[in-house]
Amino acid sequence: MSNSQAHGAEIAPGLTDLLGQTRAKSSPKAVCFCLMTKRSRPWGHNDPINQPTKRNLHPDTISVRGGLIRSGFAETSEALFLTSGFSYDSAEQAEQAFMETEEHYLYSRFSNPTVAMFEERLALIEGAEAALATGTGMAAMFASLASLVEAGDRVVASPAMFSSCYVVLTEILPKWGVQVEIVAANTEEAWTKALATKVKAVFIETPSNPLMEIVDIALVAKLTHKAGGILIVDNVMASPVLQKPLELGADVVMYSATKHIDGQGRVLGGAVLGTKKYIDEVLKPFTRHTGPSLSPFNAWVLTKSLETMSMRVHRMADTAFEVASALEGSKGVARVVHPFLDSHPDSALAKKQMLKGGTTLAIQLDADKDKTFAFMNALEVIDISNNLGDSRSLITHPASSTHRRLGTETQLKMGITESTLRLSVGLEHAGDLITDLKLALEHL
Ligand SMILES: Cc1ncc(COP(=O)(O)O)c(C=O)c1O
């Protein structure tokens, strides 16, 4: 293609008007960029517009500004690069890019500028060296472990967790010769015993879904390292706002971005965070070929969501504590489980390692399954749903939905009965939620 073609001199007549209009409104530089077909990188990290400040910024500032790379149009909001692939100036440049001797996006299964903005912003918020985004939380969980282990390795995991994570650990990894041990109990004694033997990785979820068990991250990190392993923390229930596992000694943190990070019930997503060495040398070679990538569109939604995450999570956590306190002792409620209630057996530990007790509580009703369902059906504000971390309050019956796959025996081991409910508290007014719950209790 000639230079004049590249600058729009020989374009189809139908397009000329359209482009002419654009030209009239925009600066010549912008139009030039519109029509440019060959030069693939008119902007980037080295562009003066993208030079980061050297100042130490507060996390709230990082949440709205971290990771932003502006294109040549100098847009205020993050650009959405909804593209599967990228083009090259020449065959030689494509070769150099694949040899990694030239920095260039190759294909959105490997990386994408919008996804990179989300990864960078989340890593800055988490205080991690690097992040890798995935299409779902389960993709993040699976990749964080599968990239690390091989047949014969030993993995140890906490006793209570989200059911799909439990299936990966107890059914999928063992099929490939990985030896997985679920710790007998969440006590110092049981962890010390399980980690007296060499281990490749330890996987914990804290607080756990749905019964808010608290694992001592600093203790398990110390024991894991002594046993030669790396500690992976599923930090979904706490969110990046309320708990910082890396500061407590963990090596890797994973998220379902579907939960508090999106926080508005729109898109699925996930992320794994850790050292640059782990992300670049362990995780990326695995995900590049197995393809659990995050869509650029979802990455754009999630990047914007990070801007409001701290405000949302703090407000939801405050309301969750208010709702938990109001429900405790109510007629028909056998137990309310919330990490910051004094009645929680590990509230002191939760207060040590979390900023607030999270946005979710468990409610153990004094009722059978039919009455429990009647209670759920009587709610008028709170929705029945299996998601959590949403701006809308959602109630879940884990035994028949999220944790159904585990079967009754494992459910009971985790403390889940037919009268256990999980309540994810949203952004509604606390008073409206308490009224909704108290009126529904009258149906027991
Ligand atoms: C604690 C926890 N980890 C992981 C996941 C999986 O996330 P996703 O649904 O985005 O795959 C969930 C989903 O509910 C979860 O609650």
157 located within any domain: yes
232, 350: one domain: no
134, 263: one domain: yes
Ligand 1 centroid distance, CA of 47 (Å): 38
Residues 6+ apart with CB under 8 A from 114: 78, 79, 80, 81, 82, 296, 299, 300, 303
Ligand 1 centroid distance, CA of 80 (Å): 25
Residue from 208, 236, 255 whose mutation best tests the ligand 1 pocket (most atoms within 8 A of CB): 236
Q: How far is it, in rounded angstroms, from Cα 225 to Cα 31?
A: 56
Ligand 1 centroid distance, CA of 161 (Å): 10
Quickly tell me which residue has 């489980």 as its tokens.
337
225, 350: one domain: no
Quickly tell me which residue has 């990985």 as its tokens.
178
Ligand 1 centroid distance, CA of 32 (Å): 45
181, 235: one domain: yes
**Bridge partner residues of 205 (DSSP):** 234
Question: Residue whose CA is closest, atom 15 of ligand 1?
Answer: 162
Q: How far is it, in rounded angstroms, from Cα 197 to Cα 194?
A: 7
Domain boundary among 255, 289, 305: 305
177, 211: one domain: yes
272, 328: one domain: no
169, 277: one domain: yes
**Alpha-helix runs per DSSP H in 105-248:** 113-126, 137-146, 163-167, 173-175, 188-194, 217-226, 239-242
Residues 6+ apart with CB under 8 A from 169: 145, 155, 157, 180, 182, 203
Ligand 1 centroid distance, CA of 137 (Å): 5
pLDDT of residue 123: 97
CB under 6 Å to ligand 1: residues? 136-138, 141, 162, 164-165, 205, 209, 234, 236-237, 256, 258, 268, 270
Q: Which atom of ligand 1 is nearest to the CA of 268?
A: 10
**DSSP strand pairing (394-396 vs 420-424):** antiparallel
Quickly tell me which residue has 């110092």 as its tokens.
188
Is pTM beyond 0.85 here? yes
Tens digits of residue pLDDT in 85-137: 999 999 999 999 999 999 899 999 999 999 999 999 999 999 999 999 999 99
Ligand 1 centroid distance, CA of 331 (Å): 32
**Bridge partner residues of 383 (DSSP):** 394
31 located within any domain: no
Residue type, 177: G
Ligand 1 centroid distance, CA of 268 (Å): 10
Q: How far is it, in rounded angstroms, from Cα 144 to Cα 153?
A: 15
Give the residues of the chain that fall short of pLDDT 70: 1-49
CATH code of the domain in which 184 resides: 3.40.640.10
205, 151: one domain: yes
Q: Which atom of ligand 1 is nearest to the CA of 208?
A: 1
Q: Between the CA atoms of 355, 356, 362 and 366, what dihedral angle is there, to the nearest 10 degrees?
A: 130
68 located within any domain: no
Question: Phi and psi of 107, rounded to 5°?
Answer: -170, 140
- Closest C-alpha to 201, from 97, 278, 307, 123: 278
How many angstroms from the chain centroid is the CA of residue 395?
A: 20
Which range of residues forms the domain containing residue 191? Answer: 113-305
Tally of domains in the chain? 2
137, 262: one domain: yes
Q: How far is it, in rounded angstroms, from Cα 142 to Cα 149?
A: 11
270, 326: one domain: no
- Closest C-alpha to 47, from 92, 24, 79: 79
Question: Residue whose CA is closest, atom 7 of ligand 1?
Answer: 137
325, 274: one domain: no
pLDDT of residue 354: 98
Ligand 1 centroid distance, CA of 86 (Å): 32
280 located within any domain: yes
Q: Which atom of ligand 1 is nearest to the CA of 138?
A: 11
pLDDT of residue 15: 35
284, 371: one domain: no
